[in-house]
Amino acid sequence: MDKAVKIALAGEGGQGVQSVAMILTEAAAMEGKEILYIPNFGVEQRGGVSIAFVQIGDQKIGAPKFKTGDIVIALSDRAVRRVGMYAGPQTVFIYDAGIEGVEDDLPENAQRVLAIPALETANKELHPRVFNILIMGAVIGATHVVTLEKAKEAIEKKLGYKFEQNPKLREMNFKALERGYEMVAGTGVA
């Protein structure tokens, strides 16, 4: 039985976690994949950690939530502490290299723990606003759930209206996607 790829993506509200999930699932839909995406929602919706649970596969997905993710990505210190529970022996745990004070909170049992300088790269080479697209590139680099081509199509579909006003944004977003992809693709996790 073909298992779906289980992705848990977590960050502070405003970091664009749900947007990434929406675009990623859009890309997967374009490729005709089976997808199930659920955001966390609880009373702490405002001011809590934002988590997106995304599953992409060839067959209908079984359950909305999972115990252990194949890829778990945390973009803030609170996020690291919140989603560490979804890491298991087969999990690749990725976090932003700029997060401080989480050495003790990183999952000890994960297959691989990887720090990527996503925020720094976005700030220095691109623009802080495309940080989440860079993360999306990293997700794709780690899982290959969709092609970069389809990912770009999905970005165009979801954010195209912004690009109309400022065509430079398109290039920046695509570059961010590729940078994120490179960051992970070269590390041997995928």
Nearest partner of 99 among 189, 11, 7, 190, judged by Cα: 11
Do residues 112 and 93 touch, judged by C-beta distance below 8 A?
yes
Site string for another protein, 43-82 (x = CB under 8 A): x----------------xxxxxxxxx--------------
**Tokens of residue 23, six digits:** 């675009």
Binding-residue total with another protein (CB under 8 A): 22
CA distance 35 to 26: 9
Q: Which is nearer to another protein, 68 or 111 (by Cβ)?
A: 68
Q: What are phi and psi of 90, to 5 degrees?
A: -100, 5
Q: Could you tell me the smallest distance in angstroms from the CB atom of residue 26 to another protein?
A: 8
20, 35, 73, 102: residue in contact with another protein (rule CB under 8 A)? 35
Q: In the chain, helix, strand, coil percent, each to 5?
A: 45, 20, 35
Q: Which is nearer to another protein, 28 or 140 (by Cβ)?
A: 28
Window of 31-39, 113-121, 127-135, 136-144 that interacts with another protein by CB under 8 A = 31-39
| Residues near another protein (CB under 8 A) | 1, 25-26, 29, 34-39, 41-43, 60-68
